[in-house]
């Protein structure tokens, strides 16, 4: 996606985004000032909303599971850019902004998932995320003075459909992971992973390309 296309996509498809020029620089992969008040405030509001998610209790919903799930989805909709109603996230989880994250159908994440979404994180359908996983689009200049000045960059992460992340996986900025991939526990993903690959290690290496089983036919 081109830089100008990212801005257009965000405006048309993402909810809860800050309306500030520095935000649009940030999501395009341009240098931006992370200390800017509007961005700092947006991060703090998102952090507070993530913390509040853990306070949604089924006991406050008359032990009604449907009402409980609806309350959780309503809360998550105020954090993320675009999600589906069947999302299931264990608390706690953490985001930088939340608004830059798009999540497909039947998503599940276990405890302590972290999204550093300074630009777009796009996740497909039927994705499973184990505990203590991190998706970080953010990076910093090598020049120390630029870091002191609050200069950051960010590059998008794209995850396809039917991907499984084991416990403790870290996915770095600019990575695309293909449909059906399996990322083994503790893996540090620094490069793109092709479809149906098994990727393990630090740094992650593809050790196998799987042949997915065919879907079972259903009796009519």
Q: Is 44 a catalytic residue?
A: no
Of the listed 44, 75, 88, 140, which one is catalytic?
A: 140
- Cα gap 128→181, rounded to integer Å: 11
Can you tell me which residue has the tokens 């953490």? Answer: 94
- Cα gap 166→109, rounded to integer Å: 10
Q: Are 93 and 113 within 8 A, CB to CB? A: yes
Ramachandran angles phi, psi of 170, nearest 5°? -120, 125
- Cα gap 46→94, rounded to integer Å: 8
Q: Single out the residue of 114, 101, 113, 122 nearest to residue 179, CA to CA.
A: 122
Ramachandran angles phi, psi of 148, nearest 5°? -65, -30
- Cα gap 187→2, rounded to integer Å: 29
- List the catalytic residues: 140
């Amino acid at each position: 996606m081109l830089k100008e296309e990212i801005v257009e996509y965000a405006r048309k498809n993402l909810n809860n985004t800050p309306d500030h020029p520095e935000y649009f620089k940030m999501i395009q992969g341009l240098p931006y000032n992370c200390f800017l008040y509007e961005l700092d405030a947006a991060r703090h509001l998102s952090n507070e909303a993530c913390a509040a998610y853990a306070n949604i209790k089924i006991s406050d919903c008359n032990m009604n599971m449907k009402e409980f799930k609806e309350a959780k989805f309503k809360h998550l909709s105020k954090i993320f850019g675009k999600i589906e109603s069947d999302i299931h996230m264990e608390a706690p989880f953490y985001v930088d902004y939340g608004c830059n994250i798009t999540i497909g159908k039947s998503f599940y994440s276990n405890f302590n998932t972290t999204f550093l979404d300074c630009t777009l994180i796009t996740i497909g359908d039927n994705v499973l995320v184990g505990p203590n996983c991190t998706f970080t689009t953010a990076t910093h200049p090598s020049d120390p003075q630029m870091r002191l000045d609050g200069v950051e960059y960010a590059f998008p992460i794209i995850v396809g459909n039917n991907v499984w992340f084991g416990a403790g996986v870290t996915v770095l900025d600019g990575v695309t992971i293909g449909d059906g991939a399996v990322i083994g526990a503790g893996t540090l993903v620094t490069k793109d992973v092709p479809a149906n690959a098994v990727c393990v290690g630090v740094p992650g290496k593809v050790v196998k390309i799987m042949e997915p089983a065919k879907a079972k036919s259903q009796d009519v």
